[in-house]
Amino acid sequence: MIQLAMALKYSTALIFCFALLLHSALLAQDEDKKITSIEIKAIPGLQFDKVRFSVAPGAEVKLTVTNSDDDMPHNMVITKPGSRADVVLAAQQLAEKGPEMNFIPKSPLVLWSIPVIYSGESKTIQFKAPEEPGIYPFVCTYPGHGFIMYGYMYVTENGIMPALENDENIPPLRRTGDKKVQDTESAAMHHHPKLHPYDNVPPYLYRVFIEESSLASIAVHLPNQLSYCWDAALCQLQFAWQGEFLDNTDLWHGHKNAYAKVLGEIFYREKMEFPIRIGSRESIPSPEFLRYKLIDGYPEFHYLLSGVEVHEIIHPNKEGTGLIRTIKVNNAKEPVWFLFNADEQVEYGFNKGEIENGALKLSPDEGKEFTIRMTKSNK
């Protein structure tokens, strides 16, 4: 009996020790699964209240984004390192598909995203942080926001980030601490006339809905107070103006069927249906927009006209009175035509080709690269 009692006592002790070890293991497992919670607000002035945060590699992250901006919708996209600008451009190229896709492009550069949220709304996602340490951008890709509304997720073992004033990853004016956020919020509450908390230096562009153009409009603001609207659906310059750029207020407020409004004086409107033609001047081409790429900040548009690839880039002239269009027609085997209507608002100049019955005619070789000068007339 004594031996049985001792055996039972010994067994009980073993069970207790085993239970204690199991409990400790479960606690350690729970600790390993501890979730890092991050809360970020979209605030007035096209910015996030937090422009950076740190998480450990492989950590479980719970990210909540709240739209505290009374005026505008926002979203959030977390990208691979060094990919913020590429994702913003991809979002701009969504054109009329943008709203149904929450302005979030389908791209391998996008890691996680929160769809469009309106004022007062919050949305949460949960994900496992990358195992690879690095600096991962987060950005709002709603039209017109992505070049100034962004921050970074630091994936680091020790949680150390650069001193705020020395952190070159974040927007320049956010390197001064929280006071700038408070000042921007206060200015927005008092209807500060600036549309952005940071100055945009031309050239820059917006993929916006704009009056008198299709839903695939690209508005470009150039130096010397010149701007133009490019229609990616028609693959052509639609109009150009002199003065201020755009009033995006209604669009950014999320008003239904809102459009950006031209603030300057329109001095050129395209009156021809597909002014660039290949082969016969009477042959109306079938346009297909391919892409654009930025060259020193200026967009170069790539498109097809009946299967022939065309590149076009537009610069301001030095006087600030008109545009210089550089057009490259690749692999044309027939004459290239540019149809135009001489009017009192614009004077034309060409570096190549001949004028034939009111149209510019270029040989296939001349069409490989030519320029069109469009100057606002003083008449």
Cα dihedral 224, 315, 82, 185 sign: positive
Pick the closest to residue 220 from 234, 238, 233, 193 (CA basis). Answer: 238
Domain extent for 145 = 35-189
In-domain check, residue 4? no
Note whether residue 68 is domain-resident: yes
Are 166 and 214 members of one domain? no
Do the domain assignments include residue 21?
Answer: no
133 domain residue, yes or no: yes
Which of these three, 158, 189, 220, is where a domain ends? Answer: 189
Lookup: tokens for 5: 């009692």
Residues 121, 216: one domain?
A: no
Same domain, 108 and 211: no
* DSSP H or E segment with residue 372: strand 370-376
DSSP H or E run through 86: helix 84-92
Out of 134, 162, 189, pick the residue that ends a domain: 189
Same domain, 222 and 363: yes
CATH number of the domain encompassing residue 179: 2.60.40.420
Please give the single-letter amino acid code of residue 333. K
Does 273 lie in the same domain as 133?
no
Summarize the confidence of residues 333-338 as an average pLDDT.
94
Residues 209 and 161 in one domain: no
154 and 210 in a common domain: no
Return all residues near 270 (Cβ < 8 A) that are at least 6 apart: 236, 237, 238, 239
Selection from 350, 138, 312 nearest residue 218 by Cα: 312
- Answer whether residue 130 is part of any domain: yes
Count of structural domains, the chain: 2
Q: Are 218 and 299 within 8 A, CB to CB?
A: yes
Do 282 and 184 lie in one domain? The reply is no
In SS3 terms, 51-70 reads as CEEEECCCCEEEEEEEECCC
Lowest mean pLDDT among 290-294, 305-309, 345-349: 290-294
Last residue in a domain, options 155, 189, 223: 189
Q: pTM surpassing 0.75?
A: no
Residues 137 and 56 in one domain: yes
pLDDT exceeds 90 at position 250 = no
Q: Is residue 348 part of a domain?
A: yes
pLDDT on residue 192:
35
φ, ψ (nearest 5 deg) of residue 254: 80, 20
For residue 199, being part of any structural domain is answered with no
Give residue-wise pLDDT tens across range 184-238.
433 333 333 344 444 568 998 877 778 777 777 889 999 999 999 998 888 999 9
Task: Report long-range pairs for 185-188 (Cβ below 8 Å, ≥24 apart).
Answer: 185/43, 185/44, 185/45, 187/45, 188/43, 188/44, 188/45, 188/71
78 and 127: one domain? Answer: yes
Residue range 12-33, pLDDT digits in tens: 554 444 444 444 444 444 444 5
Q: Please give the sequence-ordered ranges of beta strands (E in DSSP) within 161-281, or none if there are none.
A: 204-207, 217-222, 226-231, 236-242, 246-247, 261-262, 265-269, 276-278
Q: What is the pLDDT of residues 79-125, one digit of tens each?
A: 999 999 899 888 877 877 888 999 999 999 999 999 999 989 999 99
Q: Which residues contact 95 (CB under 8 A, 6 or more apart)?
A: 207, 215, 216, 232, 233
Question: So what's the pLDDT on residue 193?
Answer: 39
Residue with tokens 């270029």: 362
Q: In this structure, is residue 252 part of a structural domain?
A: yes
Q: Please check whether residues 158 and 130 belong to one and the same domain.
A: yes
Q: Is 363 exposed, middle or buried (0-12, 13-18, 19+ CB in 10 A)?
A: middle
Predicted pLDDT at 29 = 43
Burial class (CB in 10 A: 0-12, 13-18, 19+), 274: middle
Cβ(67)–Cβ(120) under 8 Å?
yes
Distance CA 65, CA 272 (A): 47
**DSSP-assigned beta bridge partners for residue 210:** 260
Do 361 and 221 lie in one domain? The reply is: yes
